Amino acid sequence: MQDWKQISEAITGASVINVFTHIHSDGDCVGSAFALAYFLSNFGKKINIICEEKPPENLAHIYEAELPENINFYVYDENNAADTEIPCGDAAIAVDVSDSKRLGARQELFFKAPVTVRIDHHISNDTFANVTVCNSQWAATAEGIWEYVKNYENWEKIPYITEIAKSVYTGILTDTGSFAYSNVTPDTHSIAAETIRIAGSMAWIYSAIYENQTKEEIALKAMAYGKVEYFEEGKIAYLQITREEMEKTGADDDALSGLAPFLRCIKGVSVGILVKPGKLKGQWRLSLRSDEHCDVNAVANAFGGGGHIRASGLTYLPESGMSFDEFKEKLIGEVKNGWCD
């Protein structure tokens, strides 16, 4: 059990709390942020949830839901940092954020708060916040949020417990590949069971997330399947999608999220490398997925990225001094070096 008391103590005097997700937000950071906000809104606090960019459409059931009046949801790049109305708050809490770079342009706002907190499940020793509660045994940060909520006496009766349950379930569902990955523990299933007992069937959440693929997304996948490259006798699958290819199919960035886990589903493949266009021209965002033959957190660390043993990410920047081809070769070399049989 984590030391949740230190968080409660750190934020007890705060009347405005800002909750931050990581850049390129996913189901876990969005689910965790909203679950935490609903929970804290019960204690007379005003909560601002601040995402860097609009989260993926398939999470709209969370971020487009009607919120209690003391919870506000902000999209930072739409609010334009210069004229933003977002207050710095008395406390800032980062959820699912392994290092402060993952706060993107919101770093300054985060560190302006007199008290900073991090709740996370990544492998990271980063101490960017005053108070850190991080457990890499949680399949999702949302598991930790549920544990925090359950510390509260009569937690089952608190207002918004149904919303909290749905948000937590979303975080767990998405970070475990629908309960399929090796990060799943008995606790993961117990927590999911509790949330279903409280909020009822969650089948609609699975459907909202995974059964709403656009025609453009299917067109992108059809194109992508045809250009997978293989290295190391087919043990490494590599797929690079350009901005032009995305524009050609009309697919948006959300469409890319399913492609990384797919690479590892190919027979004989242990490591999947998905390369997606970055924010600026020449930049590339990489998603790595592996099985027991490779620690892709270590691979990502070698290039300034991070994440988990079986799922990690990093960004290639042209100013690194390496051409992309050199980088690609080095990356594949790093995967080969870290290979365990």
Footprint of Mn ion (CB under 5 A) = 28, 96, 141, 175
Closest to 155 in 3D by CA, of 314, 38, 27, 283? 38
Tokens of 284: 């590339």
Sign, CA dihedral 63-64-70-74, equals positive
Q: Which residue is nearest to ligand 5GP (CB)?
A: 313
Sheet strand arrangement including 284-290: 229-231, 236-240, 271-277, 284-290, 311-316, 306-307
Asked if 288 and 298 touch (Cβ cutoff 8 Å), the reply is: no
Helix (H) or strand (E) holding 27: helix 27-40
25 binds ligand 5GP (CB under 6 A): no
56 binds ligand 5GP (CB under 6 A): no
Apex 140 CA angle, 202 and 102, nearest 5: 125
Q: Which does 99 bind (CB under 5 to 8 A by kind): Mn ion, ligand 5GP, none?
A: ligand 5GP
Q: Which does 118 bind (CB under 5 to 8 A by kind): ligand 5GP, Mn ion, none?
A: none
In whole angstroms, what is the distance from residue 139 CA to residue 171 CA?
Answer: 9
Closest to 59 in 3D by CA, of 32, 37, 26, 36? 26
Buried b (16+ CB within 10 A) or exposed e, 3-29: ebeebeebbeebebbbbbbbbbbbbbb
Site residue total, ligand 5GP (CB under 6 A) = 17
Q: Which residue is nearest to Mn ion (CB)?
A: 28
Helix (H) or strand (E) holding 192: helix 186-199
In whole angstroms, what is the distance from residue 313 CA to residue 151 CA?
Answer: 33
Q: Can you tell me which of 56, 92, 307, 316 binds ligand 5GP, judged by CB under 6 A?
A: 307
Q: Which does 313 bind (CB under 5 to 8 A by kind): Mn ion, ligand 5GP, none?
A: ligand 5GP
Q: Can you tell me which of 221, 264, 308, 310 binds ligand 5GP, judged by CB under 6 A?
A: 308
Of 10 and 35, nearer to ligand 5GP (C-beta) is: 35
Of 223 and 317, nearer to ligand 5GP (C-beta) is: 317
In whole angstroms, what is the distance from residue 321 CA to residue 45 CA?
Answer: 47
**Which range in 221-229, 235-243, 312-320, 330-338 contacts ligand 5GP by CB under 6 A?**
312-320
41 binds ligand 5GP (CB under 6 A): no
Q: Which does 310 bind (CB under 5 to 8 A by kind): ligand 5GP, Mn ion, none?
A: none
Q: Can you tell me which of 27, 171, 272, 305 binds ligand 5GP, judged by CB under 6 A?
A: 305
Map the footprint of ligand 5GP across residues 242-301, applying CB under 6 A.
Answer: 260, 287
**Which range in 144-152, 201-209, 304-312, 332-340 contacts ligand 5GP by CB under 6 A?**
304-312
Q: What residue ranges bind ligand 5GP (CB under 6 A)?
A: 22, 24, 98-99, 102, 122, 260, 287, 305-308, 311-315
